[in-house]
């Protein structure tokens, strides 16, 4: 392993895992802002070329991350602020990809296909279906602009088919100008579960939220631009244990006769520490994914927040 490969779908966390390498590469640009009034932190990671993609381990494209601890709260005003921020960034990204997208896209009234990825029966993987449930669907209205259609393709265990295959068939028949895919993601840090929203123009790989990667939905596989919206709802057990390595080292250093053990832990590189933890944890626990105990409430709130943001961005509609 040349660099630490802790499981994460967030470009922000991928950059944090190898900051030195990213800073040396001109192919990765990083911007960050914090609104003290709303408590929302916005981070933009731009992967500009293949050198940047190799440095960060993510495809070339733009990754916008909204972080807000207020998303943990059942506070309508806080969630509305996040929805409005999401709408602003999504609107900008949609305009960008449509302008640079397929020539056949009807600029004045593009047809947009919203795809709710995931399994409605698994709470931590049900974000996509919940969002599509609350979108304002306008594809059947002749006067609507843009025309928005929605699909919840389910998962292979329910349909016997890959989600990506279903979506490809619909895209081939409908010929929309843009796909917006919503899915649950995996994070490296527990603190980002349910408090972080990532928007990217690079597409998505269904199954991230339950550690079950499937065929990807990208501009290359669908032939049209794909914007992905995701929220981390799970973290690997190995990553949780890894986060405690420093605390363990400090505890051993305070314990009589354990200084050598603390020194040994601290001498290991982050990659070596994580690999060791995986070797210790995964034989007994497997590639276990962990989710918060209040995930039902969090996903319900997040589904509404994201749907509201998408409705505002595409239709200027507020509930």
The answer to whether residues 212 and 163 touch, using CB atoms and an 8 Å cutoff, is no
Give the count of domains, the chain. 2
Beta-bridge mates of residue 111: 147
Say yes or no: 41 and 90 in one domain: yes
Say yes or no: 24 and 130 in one domain: yes
User: Which pLDDT belongs to residue 273?
Assistant: 63
Query: Predicted confidence band at 3 (pLDDT cuts at 50, 70, 90)?
Result: very low
In a domain, 2, yes or no: no
In a domain, 20, yes or no: yes
Burial (CB count <10 Å: 0-12, 13-18, 19+), residue 54: middle
Cα–Cα distances in angstroms (integers) from residue 193 to residues 50, 161, 267, 289, in the given order = 29, 29, 30, 12
Say yes or no: 69 and 156 in one domain: yes
In a domain, 38, yes or no: yes
Burial (CB count <10 Å: 0-12, 13-18, 19+), residue 236: buried
For tokens 């509404």, the residue is: 304
Say yes or no: 172 and 244 in one domain: no
Query: Predicted confidence band at 191 (pLDDT cuts at 50, 70, 90)?
Result: confident
User: Which pLDDT belongs to residue 292?
Assistant: 76
Say yes or no: 199 and 299 in one domain: yes
Say yes or no: 189 and 69 in one domain: yes
Say yes or no: 106 and 220 in one domain: yes
pLDDT over 50 (residue 319): no
* 252: containing domain: 239-285
In a domain, 115, yes or no: yes
Beta-bridge mates of residue 30: 45
Tell me the H-state helices in 18-75: 19-24, 50-56
In a domain, 127, yes or no: yes
Say yes or no: 105 and 143 in one domain: yes
Q: Which of 125, 208, 117, 180 is nearest to 154 (CA)?
A: 117
Say yes or no: 190 and 253 in one domain: no
Which CATH number fits the domain that encloses residue 129?
3.40.50.1450
Say yes or no: 83 and 66 in one domain: yes
In a domain, 144, yes or no: yes
Higher pLDDT, 245 or 80: 80
Say yes or no: 97 and 154 in one domain: yes
In a domain, 83, yes or no: yes
DSSP letters along 111-144, please?
EEEEEE-S-TTSGGG-HHHHHHHTS---TT-TT-
pTM of the model: 0.81
The answer to whether residues 231 and 275 touch, using CB atoms and an 8 Å cutoff, is no
H/E stretch holding 68 reads none
């Amino acid at each position: 392993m040349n660099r630490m490969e802790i499981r994460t779908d967030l470009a922000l966390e991928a950059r944090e895992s190898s900051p030195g390498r990213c800073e040396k590469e001109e192919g990765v640009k990083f911007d960050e802002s914090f609104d003290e009034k709303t408590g929302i932190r916005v981070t933009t990671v731009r992967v500009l070329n293949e050198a940047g993609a190799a440095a960060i381990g993510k495809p070339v494209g733009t990754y916008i991350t909204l972080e807000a601890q207020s998303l943990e709260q059942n506070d309508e005003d806080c969630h509305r602020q996040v929805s409005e921020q999401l709408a602003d960034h999504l609107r900008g990204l949609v305009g960008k990809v449509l302008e640079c997208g397929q020539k056949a896209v009807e600029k004045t009234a593009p047809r947009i296909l919203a795809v709710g990825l995931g399994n409605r029966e698994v709470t931590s993987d049900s974000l996509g279906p919940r969002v599509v449930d609350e979108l304002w669907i306008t594809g059947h209205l002749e006067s609507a602009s843009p025309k928005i259609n929605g699909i919840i393709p389910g998962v292979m265990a329910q349909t016997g088919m890959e989600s990506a295959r279903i979506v490809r068939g619909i895209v081939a028949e409908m010929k929309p100008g843009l796909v917006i895919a919503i899915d649950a993601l995996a994070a490296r840090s527990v603190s980002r579960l349910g408090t972080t929203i990532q928007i990217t123009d690079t597409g998505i790989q269904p199954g991230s939220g339950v550690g079950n990667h499937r065929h990807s939905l990208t501009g290359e596989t669908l032939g049209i631009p794909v914007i992905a919206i995701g929220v981390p709802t799970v973290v690997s057990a190995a990553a949780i244990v890894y986060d405690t390595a420093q605390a363990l080292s400090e505890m051993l250093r305070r314990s009589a006769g354990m200084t050598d053990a603390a020194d040994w832990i601290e001498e290991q590189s982050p990659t070596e520490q994580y690999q060791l933890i995986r070797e210790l944890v995964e034989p007994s626990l497997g590639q276990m994914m962990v989710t918060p105990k209040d995930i039902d409430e969090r996903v319900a709130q997040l589904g509404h927040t994201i749907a509201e943001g998408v409705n505002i961005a595409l239709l200027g509609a507020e509930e």
